[in-house]
């Protein structure tokens, strides 16, 4: 069995049981001042409490790794020595006759001292993290403050002990041991203050600190319990030593289980911050002690006066250094607020401020890394961060020392370049050309395409954003410089966006349907629905003009809901009028933005149920690009497929990784893009591609539809290559629902 397996596991009863032992000890002490009972009775909760602490420390060590595990193992060994000492002292009480002060044998005293020394070693061996010279000086002063306070208190305690017990050698050894135990508590406090970073939970260390006063307090309680020989000061404090030890282990356990989350068995380092509380508390306690002594005796000893004076000087010096450290900290915070943590570049706010205050000639260049999300998802966040860091270094190198370089968030960067437009054009050219050079990202060589927006003159940051948006919208333009036409285009799109919502409310949209026919006879088997917009003034707005605006503004979700409802209602009407099998399916196009809406599957299901349309008669047409990145979009497609809706991959062959999508996406139909149809009857290579697509679809049991068929020769050749359905101007242009009604009469077909 391994050493890890031999350690006990943390149990939920540790804390309640230790608390019960402490309460039982208090109850017996209070009752013992009124009634008598056997003198060993008070030792039962004391020994049980310490034994529970030993078990709790061992269980805490089991849940940790590295230095943290060693620390809790050492503390468990130290508490085991205390447990042996408690058992030894219990034996002394049971078998050694005494009158007055209860016996504390040399074996028990030696065990207590060994346990104390082991605890001090464990604390000193606990890593504390690095710090600056100013922080180190402040920590040393903190140590001195606590040390002087402890020295003044120890001198008062020893004076009281000598006066109470005399100057016998055994008395001196006893009280030196008690002072050593007190030093352990001081060491805990010192460790908390001096540690900048430590694997141990801060709360756990604070629970260990009160154990240090157990020794001196036990001697004081022994003298207080002299009238009741069945009570014992050591037993009284040992029960609480066990309770505080268990609470320390529980605090550490909560630190690496995240308040109830499954334990990762690793305690994450916590930053400890020192404040002025400890020096002020130390000064206050010393002042209270000295004041009490003076009121009681009328004079102070040399140690007390010198210690108090030294303490005040140390506190003043310490606070002066702390103020300097705070100033340095403020500078660090200010720098972090202005700089990106990952790349070290300026962040958005200072960059925008610099761009707004820059006088001509300056140029703002905004850069967006294309497909960064896909790279980050495929290679992992470590490679993604490395890629951003490498690209930041490239930007800094190309821009030069006079430029302001910033990471504006995510995969967007910004440059504020001095000089005229002609001077900055060369820098932009170098940026664009560098995009063809691979970057090293955690062992991967990655080529990143970029979109670049440029603007100068007034309001150049906002204008550069417009140019960058335009560059990202059009795949054929990597670099776009702002000009007045861009602003006009933006205003036009804003007008279209405003009109879209009004048009949807006013009912200006309507649907047309393009037949899908069977080859070779041309009978209609299905339709594809297409949206049209005719304004109240009679002007027709092209879908190419308003659909992208609807996607950008999010109105495509509301518009898409209207489309699905309208199409389902029309399909249900055709079923009632012409029979259930009149059409195999009716297609509706769904955009990438709609697929990102988690409510899409539920909306489609509601529309089908509302109009009584079977799910298999609805075909949702999507593009390869819409689902290429997977994630939410692919989940929506899978949910739609589970409803029974057919999925068609539109414009097949023009997007990303088409063959891979056939494996990962639940596709039922492939709609072959018009560009492949146009190549028929041309070179053998062009026909080979169209034929290969048909073969793949047949072997994967997928349907095929050839789009954009315009000539009888194309129709015949498609049939020879294995295509059995087609659509295009050869058969019919998009038409109204009433026109489709006429085509659905039995026996009527569309000539090919």
Burial (CB count within 10 angstroms: exposed 0-12, middle 13-18, buried 19+), residue 548:
middle
**Both tokens assigned to 300:** 């102070």
The dihedral through the CA atoms of 616, 620, 623, 626 has a sign that is negative
Tell me the CA distances in angstroms from 47 to 50, 242, 433, one per residue in order.
5, 8, 77
Beta strands in 152-274 (DSSP E): 197-198, 270-271
- 393 secondary structure, DSSP code: H
DSSP H helices, 126-262, are 133-165, 169-194, 202-208, 214-224, 233-255
First to last CA, the chain: 81
Q: What is the dihedral of CA 31, 32, 35, 41, to 10 degrees?
A: 110
Known active-site residue 437: no
What distances in angstroms separate CA 79 from CA 16, 202, 211, one per listed residue? 19, 19, 11
Spatial distance between the Cα atoms of 440 and 391, rounded to a whole number of angstroms: 9
Name the active-site residue from 545, 616, 707, 742.
707
CA-to-CA distance for 529 and 525, rounded, in angstroms?
A: 14
Helix (H, G, I), strand (E, B) or coil at 85: helix
Beta bridge partners of 444: 441
User: What is the C-alpha separation between 694 and 727, in angstroms, rounded?
Assistant: 16
Q: Which of 441, 310, 371, 462 shows the shortest CA–CA distance to 655?
A: 371
Which run of H or E residues covers position 247?
helix 233-255
Residue 365: how many other CB atoms lie within 10 Å: 28
Instruction: Catalogue the active-site residues.
Output: 707
């Amino acid at each position: 069995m391994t050493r890890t397996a031999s350690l006990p596991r943390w149990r939920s009863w540790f804390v309640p049981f230790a608390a019960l032992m402490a309460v039982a000890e208090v109850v017996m002490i209070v009752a013992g001042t009124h009634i008598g009972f056997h003198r060993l009775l008070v030792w039962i909760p004391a020994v049980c409490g310490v034994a529970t602490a030993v078990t709790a420390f061992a269980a805490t060590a089991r849940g940790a790794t590295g230095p943290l595990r060693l620390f809790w193992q050492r503390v468990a060994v130290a508490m085991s020595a205390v447990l042996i000492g408690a058992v030894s002292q219990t034996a002394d009480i049971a078998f050694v006759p005494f009158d007055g002060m209860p016996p504390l044998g040399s074996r028990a005293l030696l065990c207590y001292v060994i346990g104390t020394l082991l605890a001090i070693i464990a604390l000193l061996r606990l890593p504390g993290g690095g710090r600056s010279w100013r922080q180190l000086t402040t920590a040393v002063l903190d140590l001195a403050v606590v040390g002087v306070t402890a020295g003044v208190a120890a001198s008062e305690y020893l004076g009281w002990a000598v006066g109470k017990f005399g100057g016998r050698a055994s008395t001196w050894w006893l009280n030196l041991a008690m002072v050593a135990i007190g030093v352990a508590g001081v060491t805990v406090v010192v460790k908390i203050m001096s540690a900048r970073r430590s694997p141990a939970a801060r709360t756990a260390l604070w629970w260990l600190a009160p154990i240090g006063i157990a020794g001196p307090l036990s001697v004081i309680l022994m003298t207080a319990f002299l009238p009741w020989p069945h009570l014992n000061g050591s037993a009284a404090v040992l029960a609480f030593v066990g309770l505080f030890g268990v609470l320390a282990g529980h605090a550490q356990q909560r630190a690496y289980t995240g308040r109830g989350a499954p334990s990762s068995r690793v305690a994450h380092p916590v930053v400890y911050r020192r404040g002025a509380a400890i020096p002020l508390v130390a000064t206050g306690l010393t002042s209270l002690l000295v004041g009490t002594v003076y009121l009681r005796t009328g004079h102070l000893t040399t140690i007390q006066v010198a210690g108090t004076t030294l303490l005040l000087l140390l506190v003043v010096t310490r606070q002066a250094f702390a103020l300097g450290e705070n100033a340095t900290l403020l500078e660090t915070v200010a720098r972090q607020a202005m700089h990106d943590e990952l790349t070290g570049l300026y962040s958005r706010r200072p960059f925008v401020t610099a761009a707004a205050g820059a006088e001509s000639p300056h140029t703002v260049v905004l850069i967006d890394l294309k497909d960064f999300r896909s790279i980050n998802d495929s290679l992992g966040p470590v490679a993604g961060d490395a890629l951003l860091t490498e690209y930041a270094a490239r930007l800094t190198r190309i821009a030069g020392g006079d430029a302001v370089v910033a990471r504006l968030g995510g995969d967007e960067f910004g440059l504020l370049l001095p000089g005229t437009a002609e001077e900055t054009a060369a820098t932009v050219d170098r940026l664009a050309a560098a995009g063809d050079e691979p970057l090293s990202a955690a062992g991967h060589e990655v080529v990143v395409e970029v979109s670049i927006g440029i603007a100068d003159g007034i309001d150049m940051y906002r204008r550069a954003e417009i140019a960058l948006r335009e560059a990202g919208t059009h795949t054929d333009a990597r670099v776009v410089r702002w000009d007045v036409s861009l602003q006009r285009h933006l205003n036009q799109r804003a007008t279209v966006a405003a009109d879209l919502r009004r048009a949807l409310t006013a009912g200006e949209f309507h649907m047309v349907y393009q037949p899908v026919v069977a080859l070779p006879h041309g009978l209609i088997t299905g339709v594809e629905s297409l949206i049209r917009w005719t304004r109240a003034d009679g002007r027709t707005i092209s879908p190419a003009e308003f659909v992208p605006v609807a996607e950008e503004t999010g109105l495509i979700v509301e518009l898409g809901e209207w489309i699905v409802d309208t199409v389902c209602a029309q399909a249900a009407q055709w079923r009632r009028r012409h029979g259930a099998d009149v059409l195999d399916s009716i297609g509706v196009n769904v955009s990438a933005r709609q697929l990102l809406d988690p409510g899409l599957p539920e909306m489609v299901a509601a529309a089908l149920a509302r109009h009584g349309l079977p799910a298999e008669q609805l075909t949702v047409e999507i593009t390869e690009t819409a689902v290429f990145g997977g994630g939410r979009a692919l989940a929506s497609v899978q949910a739609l497929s589970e409803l029974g809706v057919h999925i068609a991959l539109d414009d097949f062959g023009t997007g990303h990784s088409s063959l891979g999508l056939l494996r990962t996406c639940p596709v039922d139909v492939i709609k072959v893009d018009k560009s492949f149809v146009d190549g028929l009857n041309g070179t053998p290579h062009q026909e080979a591609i169209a034929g290969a697509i048909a073969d793949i679809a047949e072997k994967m049991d997928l349907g095929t539809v050839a789009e954009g068929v315009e000539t009888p020769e194309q129709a015949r050749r498609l049939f020879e290559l294995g295509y059995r359905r087609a659509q295009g101007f050869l058969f019919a242009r998009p038409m109204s629902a009433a026109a489709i009604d006429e085509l659905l009469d039995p026996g009527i077909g569309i000539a090919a």
